[in-house]
Amino acid sequence: MARKPQGLLPVPEKLLVWEHADRAVFPFGIEKLAVADGEGNAPNARVMASAEFLIIAVPGSDKGVGTVCKVLQSEGAGEGRMSLVVQGVCRTRFSRPKDGGTTAVRHAPLPDKPLKGSSPLAAAKIRGILDRLNGLAVSAGTISPAFVDELSRIRLPGRFSDILAQELSLPPDKAGELLSEADPRKRVDLLHKFLQSEIEIESIRVEMENKTYNEIDKRQREYFLKQQMETIQSELSQGREQEGTEAPYLGKAESLDAPEAVREHLVKEIGRLARLSPYSEETAQLKPYLDLVFDLPWGKFTEDNLDLGKVKRLLDKEHFGLQKVKRRILEHLAVLKIGGKGGGRIFCLVGPPGVGKTSLGKAIAGALGRKFVQMSLGGIKDEAEIRGHRKTYIGAMPGRIIQGLRMAKTMNPLFLLDEIDKVGMDFRGDPSSALLEALDPVQNNHFVDNYLGFPFDLSKVLFITTANTTEGIHPAFLDRLEILELPSYTEEEKISIAKRHLVKRIKASTGVGDRISIDDRAITAVIRSYTREAGLRNLERELEKIYRNAALKLARGKAVGERIGDQEARKILGPQPFFCNERMKKEKVGVATGLAYTEVGGEVLFVEASVIDGTGNLTLTGQLGEVMKESAQAALTFIRSKASELKLNARSLSKKDVHIHFPEGAIPKDGPSAGITIAVALYSVLTGKKVDRDTAFTGEITLRGDVLPVGGVREKILAAHRSRIRRVVLPSFNRKDTAELPKSVLSSTEMIFVDDIKEVFSHAF
């Protein structure tokens, strides 16, 4: 920073010379100089300690011209270096001694030439210099506006040029030229030219910078920034480059056994991958996508086993009964064997829990020689589970159908969709509707998964679905299914299955092996007294308890009989939870036996009716649905309307309150099939007649006493058979539903078909 000097001091004839590499020191200027201590051109430190010490500061090589400087401050700079803060006093010429060294040299001050009068040209150049300094202060920011304001107050050209020269970062040649020039006006002229050149250079720089930025549009800037980012990331990864990432994918695409449109799509995606940075987010999404697509089983098929006899033997070995389902599978294979297409059929195995729907699907896959893929749909509410997510989403995945094909590694596996009737629906979509495209034989040859983004052929996949009932299946979806019913097992079938399959599996799992066997009477006791179900799961659990008890005794070294009988099985299992309908052992007034159909199979239920004095009101209890309530109202209305024909006192009926109750009130009940059962219970309580305990009823009633058909007849009759009911009254329209009942059921259960309620009453009492 330039300061006004405090006045000229007396200058000795000899002074020490200080050569330095810093900027030149001009008169009136203050500068900090540095030099190594002990060098030949360094003044003596003790001499420099004097506050009035003067030296000659010479920038760079010795040209015989320097500046006499007053030492304001001296200090050590560390590592053998010294620094001086000096202020220029005047220019001087000097001559160094021939022998060199550090001795003082003679010098002659070089005063400014005196000015004669005012010079308009010099004043104009000073004004021009100030204008240029203001321009540099605005554009380049190298000159302080405060310094320009202070400089404008100096009127002497010599002092003006020296103070300005000290502030500017002049090149060494320009600094030496100004230092050796004694004419102040010439120094002003030299500074004017120098600043003119600096202004031109600065204007060219600004113009080029503006032009460059105007020519680069947004895309070019993004490309430039992306290239910089790649360079930085490449440096961070120690220069490892991922060149040729797309080459393996291109080779796979060329040899892929896929439609031409799919290959073109993949080539396009691979080309996009080649243009992306290996560290970009798009690359992290695109590579897993390509890996999955190339991992799909394009053109890979397993050969079907078309030996019908062998398939039948395998199915019979795995599952007892189910002749209708097995015959349909054989028909499907027969079509394939004689050259038919055979595709496009979606089988739906419908039956109560535990009858073997899932295991039958596995057995069919094994008999056909196809890979087996199981997909549970119970509780699914998100459509993306079927169709997948779009690959641009974070964490995107294909649908479970495409994932299953990837795991199967074949285009024609057997795909088991379990619990199709329990698919849900919410704000995320309707999975049942999404399944329409996948399972529809007309359009599943171009099924589009959102993640893949192109059609995929599912026509060679054999889809088999399972459900407990058809009521929960979407109507449009149900229309595309071929229903194959798996009925409840009879007692004889359960005994055969237990002996052929369950006991063998339990022996192997418990480690008992052939050391212990179970008597047929023990199995029968378990079925009758400890299980009451359509399927076999509870039966298997109870048999496992018996064998686990035997395993515990063997592990403890206790003696165990080789054969477990009826009494021993009861002792192991404890008190029996079910009894053979103790309530039906005695005939009671106002109690009738009905049959119901649930998703777990057929059930026996009881209807109780009671009449008390009142005003003719009807009370219903037992957690009944709206349909069952309407059936009760219809039965009561029929009896009141036909009171005279039924030999009842109509006047007395109007003064009686009727209460109808269904026991096991915690269980919801609904449906029209209890209509005639309610009518029988009402008629019994009004006439005082007892209902035959060996007769069960099912059928819908109208206001005029007609008996209409109902559903689930097979399961209801099997439930009656399990409960040892010998007669079943049912609508005549349901005669066809009894044609395929097992012979053991038909021989032990009497079927009574009726058309109106009067016939029902004739068989009930």
pLDDT of residue 97: 61
Catalytic residue among 70, 161, 716, 723: 716
Q: Are the C-beta atoms of residues 365 and 318 closer than 8 Å to each other? A: no
Q: Which of 644, 704, 712 is nearest to 674 (CA)?
A: 712
pLDDT of residue 268: 85
CATH code given to domain 308-485: 3.40.50.300
Catalytic residue among 432, 673, 684, 723: 673
Q: 332 Cβ partners below 8 Å, 6+ apart?
A: 342, 345
Domain boundaries, the chain: 14-109, 120-215, 223-295, 308-485, 491-573, 582-764
- Bridge partners (DSSP) of residue 729 are 697, 752
Angle (CA) 635-640-646 rounded to 5° is: 95
Scan for tokens 């939870």, then name that residue.
577
Angle (CA) 346-350-354 rounded to 5° is: 130
What is the fold of 582-764? Ribosomal Protein S5; domain 2 (3.30.230)
pLDDT of residue 9: 65
CA distance 523 to 494: 9
Q: What is the pTM of this model?
A: 0.61
Helix (H, G, I), strand (E, B) or coil at 598: strand
Half-sphere exposure (Cβ direction) of 326: Cα atoms closer than 13 Å: 19
pLDDT of residue 1: 41
How large is the angle between the packed helices 281-295 and 247-254, nearest 10 degrees?
30
Residue 148 phi/psi, 5-degree rounding, is -65, -40
Q: Are the C-beta atoms of residues 188 and 124 closer than 8 Å to each other? A: no
Residue 315 phi/psi, 5-degree rounding, is -65, -40
pLDDT of residue 707: 92
CATH code given to domain 491-573: 1.10.8.60
Contacts 24+ apart (CB under 8 A), 45-49: 45/74, 45/82, 47/16, 48/74, 48/84, 49/74
CATH code given to domain 14-109: 2.30.130.40
| Residue 762 annotated among the catalytic residues of the structure | no
What is the fold of 120-215? Methane Monooxygenase Hydroxylase; Chain G, domain 1 (1.20.58)
DSSP 449: -
Q: What is the mean pLDDT of each run of 10 residues along the chain (765 residues)?
A: 50 80 82 65 48 74 78 72 82 71 74 76 77 68 74 81 80 80 83 78 72 65 72 53 62 81 84 76 82 88 85 83 83 80 74 85 86 85 82 83 89 88 73 79 81 86 87 81 83 84 86 84 85 84 88 81 82 76 67 84 86 88 88 90 83 85 80 89 89 90 91 86 88 88 84 91 87
| Residue 716 annotated among the catalytic residues of the structure | yes
